[in-house]
Structures are given as structure tokens and as C-alpha cells.
Amino acid sequence: MRICMVSDFFYPSIGGVEEHIFNLAQMLLKRGHKVIILTHCYNDCKGVRYLTNGLKVYYLPIKVFYNQSVLPTMICNVPLIRSVLLREQIEIVHAHSAFSSLAHESILIGSLLGLKTVFTDHSLFGFADLSAVFTNKMLELDLGAVSHCICVSHVGKENTVLRARVPKEKVSVIPNAVDTAFFIPDPSQRPNDGLINIVLASRLVYRKGIDLSASIIPRFKQMPHVKFIIVGDGPKRGLLEEIREKANMQDRVEIVGAVEHARVRDYLVKGHIFVNTSLTEAYCMAIVEAAACGLQVVSTRVGGIPEVLPEDLIILTEPEVDSIYEGLLKALRRLNNCKYKRFTNEVNRTSAPNGGGDEVRFPKTKHKSSRKRLNQRLSKRSNAINNFTVTKNTRNEFMSSDSESILCPYKCNERVASLYNWENITERTEKVYNHIMLEPPSSLGGILYSYLHGDVWPILLAISMVHLFLRFLEYIRPGRFMEKAREWPRRD
């Protein structure tokens, strides 16, 4: 099959949608399909570029209008999109993200050209605010003519069916995945001086709950062995920097800024706990990557997050400051409990009765000095453990009922690998492609009738104009005479 994936969000931009498109395209290429990417230009990134395994990317010369999306004109971009689809002999147009204007235009143009269309929704929307009402209506109009729709979670499917009024039979649930071979744990990168690193990696925007994070950070001012590592950039970065200054925590709150996705693991493996404070999320890739790296995950219970990871790999909280703070304290108590157990086991080994199998024996000539050095070492470890305590320093506090054991980081990686892998995601996406390829082509009347589902009659005028424009372009530059793009040589 010949597939064109379209979205305003792609490299060099960094995010979950960009990562999903790239990985899915790579897997489809490995399975013998023809895949290209269609997006707008990014600064000096223009024209046609080739990425890994010959993945062809068209950076169209279209300026960004707002929030990395192009201006939705429906008409102006028709010649460019038509030319790419015909030159590459595309059969399926796969659009991504409801925020992408280019994706919506490509769905319309692909449908009018007689191509199959698929849309993947990566986000959740509300129903009350003005922006959500407008976006939901536009999505309802576009998804009326789409061949099939994919959501990344069951909550996302329910949300899409309700707000876009799409028949549930046309919606499939295919989650994201993570490359667990890349996001492998490395406990040696964690600090061994008694410091606990809490990592936050996301876009610093409102819907990611950065305001909640800014309210939580000052509460750890009296815990000198807790440090925050914040990876990402956005309009809320100034708020975090202001809170850091007011709390006088410059040495304990590190704001890294935007980094390439390939470097995210370098910061994850340094952490003990990963916190996600999103206010809305269809599927959070960041928590899956953090769990694959062996971190304890603390996340808000919103959207599709509860169905992403099993209970023993995540601590769910309400999207409130107090609830998230309690979740972080619970994760800290788990760390303390784990360290306390290791400490008591070592003490028991040294204090085992004569003849015990776990007794540590020393040569008689060095018994006292060795015993003294061991006691000193255990004393230092005990003091370090005491510094980790969040509440009262008592054995009962360490062994409290909410201090479950922590899974081995490598076990966490294995669990995530068994739940999410790109091979399985690609196979399920191929089934969707095969299903829609068997459907009969839609006529112009059928496409116009599908747009009536949104009860916006004037939209028929715009669609008719796009159709007439396509017929005009076909007249002055017939598709059968258009030069076809060269194929990238494949290796067997």
C-alpha cells in the first residue's frame, strides 16, 4: 500500500504526535509499504527531506498561523497537496491530530480525489468552552467523510464518538507504543549521595497542568534531598522560573528546556520518580517511557491515563495540588521503605548468631578493624536513609501500609515491552488499511451527503468550490501526464 501521513506536527517539532507518526511510518516501511510524510515547513527545513530508512518528508512552503498549525483556507493549499498525492500515487491519506488544519484539508482533498482516508485522534476535548465547540463542529464535518477513525484509548474513542457524532463501528482503538529497547533503565545514572530526583517531562503549557506543578514544587522546600528536573519548554516556563526564585530553590529545580526526543532517556534514567500533572490526556507517552526506564510514575487520573499502565506501575491522583503532593509522598515512602529493607538486611547479616548461614566472617587479625569499618559504613547509610524521611522517622512510618515494594527497573521495562510494542500497533493499523481498501469508492454525492451530517449547509458551498478547483487543475495539468516520483531503493 502507498500511504501519506499528514499533520502539522512533525520533526523538528518534538511531541507525542510527532513520535507516533515517525515510529509508525518506520514500521510500515519495514513491512514493505510506501510511506511519505506531508507537513509544513519549519524555518530552514523546507522542500523534500529523507529520514531514516528512506522516509520521504514533504515540508510544504506554508507559513504557520497559530500554535504550529497553518491557516485553514480549504482552497489555497489544494494545488500543493494534489500534486504530492498524485506524484506519489497515494492510495491512503492518514491524517493525525484534531489540532492540525493541514490534516483536515488533506482529508477533504483525498476524499474528493477518490482516495481512502484515515484519521487518528490523539487528544481529548471538552464540550463547554467556545474553542471546544468550534473544534468539535469542524471535526464532526471532517469525520463524516472519513473512511475510518482511530483513537489511542477507549476514553478517547468515547469522547470522539460523542463530540463528532461518528458511528462507533467506524472507530477503532489502537494505542501508542514505546521503543523499550531504547528506553532501558540505567540505575547507575541515579545519584548515590542520598538525593532523590523527581522528573517532569512535557510541554510547558496549561493543559499539561504546569500551574499544578508550580504549586507543588515549593512544598518540597524543607526536603533538601529532593530535586526536580524539568524537561520541556513552553509559555509556562516563566511561571516555573518565577516559583523557583521565590522559593529560593535554584539549586534544586533544574529547568533543562526543550531537548530532542533521543535525549529524553538521558534525563529519565537520572530520576527516581516521574510526575505527570496533565489536566486532559487521551494517552500519555511520557509516563510509558518513564515506566520503561524504571521510574515510579505519579500521574493525574484524567482522560485515558488510568488504562495506560497497570496499578503496580503507576500512582494515580486527582488533578489537585494536595492529591498530587500526597502521591509524591507515597512514592517517596516507597523509596524509603526499599532503602530501609536493604539497610536492615545488611544489619541482620552482620549481627547473625555464630554458625548462622548469613554471618559475615573476618580473619582474626583484622576482625576488629573490619568490624569497625563496616559499622561506620552502616552508620553512614543509616544517616543517609534518615535524611530521606518525609514524615516521622520511625520504623512504623517506613513500613506503613501504603509503602508497597518497588519493582526492579528491568522488570518494569519487561512489563512495558509486553504491553506496548510497535510491531503489534503496526499490525492493527494494517488491518484498518486492509478493511477500508475493500470498501467501494465514494461518489461526489455521497461525500456531500456525509457533510450534511454536521447540519452546516454552507459547508457544501466550500466543498463544491474545492471540487471545481480540482477539476480545473485536472484540466490544465492532468494527473496522467504528471511526472511520478522516483522510488527509494529498498534493501532485501
Identify which of 431, 343, 426, 348 has the alpha carbon closest to the alpha carbon of residue 380. 343
Please count the other Cβ atoms lying within 10 Å of the Cβ belonging to residue 129: 10
pLDDT value of position 385:
43
pLDDT value of position 303:
86
Whether pLDDT at 246 is above 70: yes
Identify which of 31, 123, 3 has the alpha carbon closest to the alpha carbon of residue 426. 31
Whether pLDDT at 343 is above 70: no
Whether pLDDT at 19 is above 90: no
CA angle 182, 187, 192 (to 5 degrees): 150
Give residue for cell 547479616: 349
The residue-averaged pLDDT of 286-307 equals 92
pLDDT band with cut points at 50, 70 and 90 for residue 379? low
Cβ-contact 164, 143 below 8 angstroms = yes
Whether pLDDT at 1 is above 60: yes
Task: Give the SS3 label for residue 44.
Answer: coil
pLDDT value of position 376:
56
Phi, psi (rounded to 5 degrees) for 187: -60, -20
C-alpha cell at 443: 461518489
Q: Rounded to whole angstroms, how far apart are CA atoms 364 and 402?
A: 45
Cβ-contact 416, 178 below 8 angstroms = yes
Whether pLDDT at 97 is above 70: yes
Please count the other Cβ atoms lying within 10 Å of the Cβ belonging to residue 33: 17
Cβ-contact 308, 288 below 8 angstroms = yes
Q: Rounded to whole angstroms, how far apart are CA atoms 388 and 84?
A: 59
The better pLDDT of the pair 399, 178 is held by 178
Identify which of 314, 321, 324, 326 has the alpha carbon closest to the alpha carbon of residue 286. 314
pLDDT value of position 207:
85
pLDDT value of position 399:
39
The better pLDDT of the pair 77, 66 is held by 77
Whether pLDDT at 298 is above 60: yes
pLDDT value of position 362:
36
pLDDT band with cut points at 50, 70 and 90 for residue 205? confident
The residue-averaged pLDDT of 462-474 equals 92
pLDDT value of position 365:
41
Q: Domains in the chain, ordered, with CATH?
A: 2-177+422-481 (3.40.50.2000), 187-337 (3.40.50.2000)
User: Parallel, antiparallel, or unpaired for β 47-50 and 2-6?
Assistant: unpaired
Bridge partner list, 151: 121, 173
Whether pLDDT at 377 is above 80: no
pLDDT value of position 145:
83
The better pLDDT of the pair 428, 441 is held by 428
pLDDT value of position 371:
52
The residue-averaged pLDDT of 340-364 equals 44
pLDDT band with cut points at 50, 70 and 90 for residue 404? low
pLDDT value of position 405:
65
Q: What's the one-letter identity of residue 454?
A: G
Helix 459-476 and helix 101-112, axial crossing angle in degrees, nearest 10: 60
Tens of pLDDT, residue by residue over 113-156, are 999 999 999 887 777 677 777 778 888 888 888 999 999 888 88
Burial of 3 by CB count in 10 Å (0-12 exposed, 13-18 middle, 19+ buried)? buried
pLDDT band with cut points at 50, 70 and 90 for residue 294? very high
Q: What is the DSSP annotation of 57-116?
A: EEEES--EEETTEE---SSTTHHHHHHHHHHTT-SEEEEE-TT-HHHHHHHHHHHHTT-E
Q: In what order do the strands lie in the sheet with 56-60?
A: 47-50, 56-60, 34-40, 2-6, 92-96, 116-121, 148-151, 171-173
Mean pLDDT estimate for the chain: 83
Cis peptide before 12 (omega within 30 of 0): yes
The residue-averaged pLDDT of 97-104 equals 89
Whether pLDDT at 70 is above 50: yes
Whether pLDDT at 197 is above 90: yes
The residue-averaged pLDDT of 223-251 equals 92
CA-based torsion, 261, 265, 268, 274: positive or negative = positive
Range in 191-195, 294-298, 398-402 with the lowest mean pLDDT: 398-402
pLDDT value of position 337:
75
User: Highest-confidence range of 331-340, 395-404, 427-436, by mean pLDDT?
Assistant: 427-436
pLDDT value of position 339:
58
The residue-averaged pLDDT of 236-247 equals 93
pLDDT value of position 163:
83
pLDDT value of position 347:
42
The residue-averaged pLDDT of 163-188 equals 89
pLDDT band with cut points at 50, 70 and 90 for residue 198? very high
Please count the other Cβ atoms lying within 10 Å of the Cβ belonging to residue 143: 28
The CA–CA distances, whole Å, from 264 to 184, 206, 229, 273, 282 equal 12, 21, 11, 15, 21
Whether pLDDT at 275 is above 80: yes
Rounded percentage of the chain residues whose pLDDT exceeds 90: 47
Whether pLDDT at 395 is above 60: no
The better pLDDT of the pair 407, 470 is held by 470
Q: Rounded to whole angstroms, how far apart are CA atoms 73 and 463?
A: 12
Task: Give the SS3 label for residue 330.
Answer: helix
The better pLDDT of the pair 124, 292 is held by 292
Q: Rounded to whole angstroms, how far apart are CA atoms 204 and 277?
A: 11
The residue-averaged pLDDT of 243-270 equals 90
Whether pLDDT at 357 is above 90: no
